[in-house]
Structure 1
């Protein structure tokens, strides 16, 4: 059994289903050779004359161009350039009627010829076999060649298809099966060599096994010319096909020559076949071998209204009217002009339509030659349309779906497999324009698909925009989060910096407060010679910290260094330290009271509640300071030994305060005798005066404790010299005597008081007893005062100059001895005065026995003595507690 290839080599042909045999009417135009017509007055060149996108304009209005010069530049999506058919000037660029049944305007270049017909520079290829295949494809592309059989598919795309799918057969369509059209017939007759040259260029690009040239047998001269031109190439097979319409259809021609059927919705490349028209191959030859772009083509001008029907070389852009006029057009009533053949062409709405790359025929029949279709009638279901359909479709069913706009069902019934050959409409007895229904339905389906594509693209853009916005929002949120975190960190850092600055400021303020306190103290000292302590919180806190530091250091020094003064002086030092602590606490309380009174006085005038609060706060601070002083008294007594200069300063301050206190205590001491002499006439008044005197004496004794202690400190400020210590001791003795005399004054006043009324011996006895008690009390208080002063002076002497502890000890011992001596002398003097007054007071009791009244007075005297004894015992206990 022969293979397919062997069958093809032997010239076997196959048949396709359907088809019709309309009158050919080819002899009208194929009797004369291809002619040329004069240049038109202007040329209209649409930018789109093929399947694909428009090119980009390269010229502007008013530009001069030459023949063959490109007017547009090819871009993407199968775009092809347009060239100038002749030399001239670009007179306009505007929308003009298109070569379409609707004649809708589309952008076109209007070229006015200059009559010179000058070519631009051409670049012919001497030997295309030496060129790269891509270079050949580019030449075909830039020449603007499209399929000239009617579809207008870009040729360079087909030439490049071998890269994707191998081409087994290259089929050349020279059938030209439609009636009246003879353009390909005449082209094959006159330019067979150029057509074969184009075939060989495509053969070089595609490398097929065979090139099959199909020509209907009603064109014997064309078959003969092509056979002669291809005789040197055994791969080019010329085949004569039986006359049958539409054997020139792409799918039908493939089936006839190769027996292969293109699948529904597919293309010839799917079965390894590529189809090219003879006019397209002629244009390829011109572009490669001569360098000429596609600027003209052969057009059949025929019909009974044409005086000279023939094929002519028509420049692209020439108006149909110009072709008709040149061929002697004589219109009739209800004249029709058809672009294309009677089967697949369409009636032009106007003859101002330009010739384009797919225009192969202009038919101008009269009313008898091509009868006008009658009114559409109902389908009789004769099935003639189905029998004539070369694609084995159901034309009647498709027409029903098209009328009902059931586009989905149309696609299901393979509407787009229809080649619009018109065989169904030709055989329809009801004269239903089936092809027109199909064309409208196809256009609407394409429009819907285009809208769907636009919608999908819009959806994609919307989703992309949405994603972009979400991404940007997320990025903004992340930036805000990062910014918030950085702001938080910055805020934390700012807070830290602010806190540090605040601490520095507070420290500076504290330093400023301390400095201000120092300045105030210096100012007061310069004004009145005294140095008032600064009771501000900062100063107190600072003093407290310094005192604690001194205590800590003193404790360490005490632990590290053995005591220099051992023996019985330890308890004496403890007593001295306690006395100093009490003195400091009293002094601090007095100073705090003075500060409170001065600080709260102006404030109280503004707001009594605020003044009360401030006073309470001041009292609390004073109590706290006093407690701190009591707690730290023991350690503070030894702290002065650390620095002699500080001890000297402290001694000077103590001396100044002692002087001030001594001045303050002089007035109440001197006032006592005067108060004691008030009215001695009445014994009851005398008793009251004696009680008042005793109270004042106690107060004076208490008041003299602090100045005496301070004076001793003043005397011991510089213990470096024993002579100075002796002087200080003498001063202490003098002050002790003075205190004793002041204590005696109220006792001396009482005898006067008792002597005021000598008539009553009992009153004198009572007064004498009272005087003796007061004298004893004053003597004891003076002794205690001297002991306290002496004991308190010892650490001051020792601390004044810690370099020589022996000198300080000697000076302290001398001072204590002198103080004790002064106290004893004061006591002896008081006893002597009591003894001198006692006989006088007791004599009445010895002379005679006591009466009832005397017994009563004695009982009173005993009660008074017991009360005083209890009071003295309580005072001693209190003093012992204070010393402890």
Structure 2
């Protein structure tokens, strides 16, 4: 189904990309369940793509739910808030799902927090205005977002206030809200669009107000038509368009979403703002509404717990810092066929082994893959088939980048535009030689980052 919206130039799709099995049916009909408050949460001091935050409280300090406990050290950083009430414990260092070793602030639960429907109503319930928002100052909206510690909740975890702020040097004319959720298996965004569309719409209006954007489109793939109709109903009269896009991976990538909706090409190495666009996720928009309207920080998020290896696939509203193991227990435990844990989805997620690993603000899902779902294959030599080139949505040559990274040739990696790769995994998915292209490219980027820090 191609996009046909008056005033929008795109045709609802982009060149290249792939069509992996969606496997959304495992959890798409599972209504969001509120997770009971865990005994302990472990909050990483690094919750975003930028710098870590600095702790503001010491061990044995009693904190309230939502209390500020960490402050960002730089502009591209975020604040951190207690996701449960309790007592701060001694800091520990943990390995996150992405393999990074980070300092954390554990909190042992003590005190009351709303549960079940009360917690849902506290976060997503109530009135969400769509009129009278001109009364909100654009700069104050961005400040409220910053104070609430918001990051992109689609997985990238880029600090939201950096994106959603007035910018005279690069004015933004269009806000595109990402409701594509193109990653296989994951359904947390879909369920949020179905069950809490009102704060998404209010958040989009507030974000556009902060940016000075005159147009708002919410992009949703055409395998989520129930969400399309729900959003259309709630957005009626607001001027927000619901852009129905072709189901294709990676449709939710910023640059390809922009191409699909308004047919603008973001320059290689550039940002959406270079073409007058800002892009943010539907979950982030709901958090924006809560931060601005109710002055409440980000402490919980919706997470898909799905895959053939989990007993009861669910979409869960859980506190930041809960362990993946507790999510697994809440969903009935692992099946005997469980073979791999992935933080996120199978294309861009990170495989990990320790169930004590904590959830962060950017955790969109936990995919528990069964033995049958894990594609087995021994790595062989590249056969120069060109399949990775055919599917790369960034028009790169993934094997050349990966081989340069494997042999630690930083100059050659940069010449092949390694930093333009956003690690969607299309190349690795289609590679008949089973070369771990994404892992090699990630290692090359890490080497470049380490060099830059010297």
- Shorter-chain TM-score: what band? over 0.9
Query: Contact (CA 8 Å) 2:340, 2:374: kept in 1 or not?
Result: no
Larger radius of gyration: 1
- Report the CA distance between 1:74 and its aligned residue: 3.6
Query: Is 1:324 aligned to residue 320 of structure 2?
Result: no
In the alignment, which of 353, 357, 362 is matched to residue 358 of structure 1?
Answer: 362
Unaligned 5+ residue runs, structure 1? 1-5, 452-884
CA pair 111-210 structure 1, distance change in 2 beyond 3 A: same
Alignment match of 2:243 (pick from 235, 239, 255): 239
Q: Secondary structure at the match of 2:261?
A: helix
SS of the residue 1:299 aligns to: strand
Unaligned runs of 5+ in 2: none
Q: Deviations 1:834-870 (Å, cap 9, x if unpaired)?
A: xxxxxxxxxxxxxxxxxxxxxxxxxxxxxxxxxxxxx
- Give 1:345 deviation, angstroms: 0.8
1:194-273 aligned at under 5 Å gives the runs 194-234=199-239, 236-273=240-277
- Contact 1:44–1:110, Cα closer than 8 Å, also in 2: yes
The answer to whether 1:441 aligns with 2:439 is: no
Matched residues in 1 for 2:54 and 2:395: separation?
A: 42
Any residues of structure 2 matched to 1:345-494 within 5 Å, and which?
345-372=349-376, 374-451=377-454
> Cα distance 1:59–1:117, how it changes in 2: closer, same or farther (>3 A)?
same
Number of corresponding residues = 440
Structure 1 residue 77 displacement after superposition: 3.1
Post-superposition Cα deviations, 1:541-561, rounded to whole Å, max 9, x if no partner, equal: xxxxxxxxxxxxxxxxxxxxx
Alignment deviations for residues 451-495 of structure 1 (CA, whole Å, 9 cap, x no partner): 2xxxxxxxxxxxxxxxxxxxxxxxxxxxxxxxxxxxxxxxxxxxx
Deviations 1:494-535 (A, max 9, x none): xxxxxxxxxxxxxxxxxxxxxxxxxxxxxxxxxxxxxxxxxx
In the aligned structure 2, how far is the partner of 1:227 from the partner of 1:153?
Answer: 28
Displacement after TM superposition at 1:204 (Å): 1.2
Question: Is residue 2:162 matched to residue 1:157?
Answer: yes
Query: 2:134 aligns to what?
Result: 129
User: Within the alignment, does 1:311 sit opposite 2:323 as a pair?
Assistant: no
| CA distance in structure 2 between the aligned counterparts of 1:359 and 1:336, rounded to whole angstroms | 17
> Contact 2:128 / 2:202 at 8 angstroms: preserved in 1?
no
Deviations 1:333-384 (A, max 9, x none): 7731100111111101311111111000101111012233x22101111111
**Gap change, CA 1:191 and 1:334, over 3 Å in 2:** closer
TM-score (norm 2): 0.92
1:109 aligns with 2:105: yes
Deviation sequence 1:614-649 (CA, Å, 0-9, x none) = xxxxxxxxxxxxxxxxxxxxxxxxxxxxxxxxxxxx
- Residue by residue over 1:739-780, the C-alpha shift from the partner in whole angstroms, topping out at 9 and shown as x without a partner, is xxxxxxxxxxxxxxxxxxxxxxxxxxxxxxxxxxxxxxxxxx
Tell me, in whole angstroms, the C-alpha distance in 2 between the residues paired with 1:161 and 1:207.
Answer: 7
Change (3 A) 1:184 1:381: same
Q: Tell me, yes or no, if structure 1 residue 183 matches structure 2 residue 179.
A: no
The correspondence of residues 5-20 of structure 1 with structure 2, limited to 5 A, is 8-9=6-7, 12-13=10-11, 15-20=13-18
Q: Which has the higher helix share?
A: 1
The match for 2:31 is 33
State the shift of 1:423 in Å: 0.8
Distance in 2, matches of 1:225 and 1:11, equals 24
Deviation at 1:138, TM superposition (A): 1.3
Structure 1 residue ranges (4+ consecutive) displaced by more than 6 angstroms after TM superposition = 124-127
Q: Could you say what secondary structure the match of 1:439 adopts?
A: helix
Structure 2 distance, partners of 1:317, 1:151, is 17
In the aligned structure 2, how far is the partner of 1:273 from the partner of 1:129? Answer: 21
Q: Hey, what's the Cα distance between the residues in 2 that align with 1:10 and 1:134? A: 28
Find the aligned partners of 2:152 and 2:351 in 1 and give their Cα distance: 22
Per-residue CA distance 1:398-445 (angstroms, 9 max, x = gap): 223222322112211111111111111111111111111111111111
**Which digits, 9 at most, give the CA deviation of each residue in 1:90-138, with x for residues without a partner?**
12223233232x252x21111011251279xx9x999653343222221
User: In angstroms, what is the RMSD of aligned CA positions?
Assistant: 2.2
Deviation at 1:193, TM superposition (A): 1.0
CA contact (8 A) 2:35 2:318 kept: yes
**TM-score, normalised with respect to structure 1:** 0.48
1: distance between equivalents of 2:424 and 2:22? 15
Q: Is residue 25 of structure 2 the alignment partner of residue 21 of structure 1?
A: no
Matched, 1:80 2:78: yes
Shift in Å, 1:175? 0.4
Match of 1:837 in 2: none
Show the counterpart of 1:170: 175
* Partner SS for 2:311: coil
Give the alignment partner of residue 303 of structure 2, picking from 294, 299, 302. Answer: 299
Structure-2 change in CA distance of 1:402 and 1:50 (3 Å) = same
Distance, in Å, in 2 between the alignment partners of 1:117 and 1:225 is 30
User: Partners in 1 of 2:25 and 2:155 — Cα distance?
Assistant: 22
Cα distance, 1:270 vs structure 2: 0.6
